[in-house]
């Protein structure tokens, strides 16, 4: 009888240890997954900040360079395309990340063309509103780079977690999949060069 109780106690103890291990691993994967999602939201936030600055920048330039209609329309069109391209964090794939980045690259290119136009207008370059918008745009480009870096670090941590043994078995069992990294296209790893 005493032997039966010892066996039952050992089985219960092992069951509790197994349950605790699975629960801890699952909760850690959920926490890491949510951290990746939250960091992606921050990346989108800084891109939105840039998109929000553009109408003010275009209107300021329009006052000085109204006949540069093609360039101004190009910026507005690129902004619209960039703000329409969103990624649902629950369905983040490398292809969707590439499409998102392509839309953002188009906006960066259009902004670069706009800044070239600005060179023709010395009064605009001295305009206080324009100078403030330019400073905000530069700061936003820096924020974008920082948030992309944080996103990749958070994603690396999560991906490493779910690939380690034995958590990889639990990740597969519970449906945790690797998340794609933010991989900028060649040459876009730098903020757009704006010269005045």
Question: What digits encode the pLDDT tens for the residues 140-179?
Answer: 888 988 999 999 999 999 999 999 998 999 899 899 999 9
pLDDT in tens, 180-193: 887 766 655 555 55
Q: What is the mean pLDDT of residues 100-104?
A: 86
For the structural domain made of 2-174, what CATH number should be given? Answer: 1.20.1440.20
Cα 9 from Cα 3, distance rounded (Å): 10
Instruction: Kindly report each contact of residues 145-148 with a partner whose C-beta sits within 8 Å and lies 24 or more positions away, as own/partner.
Output: 145/191, 147/39, 147/42, 147/43, 147/45, 147/46, 148/43, 148/182, 148/184
Q: What is the mean pLDDT of residues 28-35?
A: 93
pTM: 0.72
Question: Nearest Cα to 62, choosing from 52, 74, 51?
Answer: 74
Exposure letters 1-28 (e unless 16+ CB within 10 A, then b) = eeeeeeeeeeeeeeeeeeeeeeeebbee
């Amino acid at each position: 009888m005493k032997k039966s109780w010892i066996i039952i106690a050992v089985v219960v103890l092992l069951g509790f240890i197994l349950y605790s291990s699975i629960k801890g691993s699952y909760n850690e994967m959920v926490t890491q997954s949510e951290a990746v999602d939250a960091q992606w939201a921050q990346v989108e936030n800084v891109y939105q900040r840039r998109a929000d600055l553009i109408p003010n920048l275009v209107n300021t330039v329009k006052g000085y360079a109204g006949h540069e209609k093609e360039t101004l329309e190009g910026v507005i069109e690129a902004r619209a395309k960039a703000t329409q391209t969103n990624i649902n964090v629950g369905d983040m794939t490398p292809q969707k990340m590439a499409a998102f980045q392509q839309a953002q690259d188009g906006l960066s290119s259009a902004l670069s063309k706009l800044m070239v136009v600005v060179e023709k207008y010395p009064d605009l370059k001295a305009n206080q509103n324009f100078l403030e918008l330019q400073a905000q745009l530069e700061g936003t480009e820096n924020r974008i780079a920082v948030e992309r870096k944080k996103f990749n670090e958070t994603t690396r941590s999560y991906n490493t977690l779910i690939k380690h043994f034995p958590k990889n078995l639990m990740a597969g069992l519970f449906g945790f999949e690797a998340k794609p990294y933010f991989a900028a296209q060649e040459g876009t790893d730098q903020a757009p060069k704006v010269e005045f």
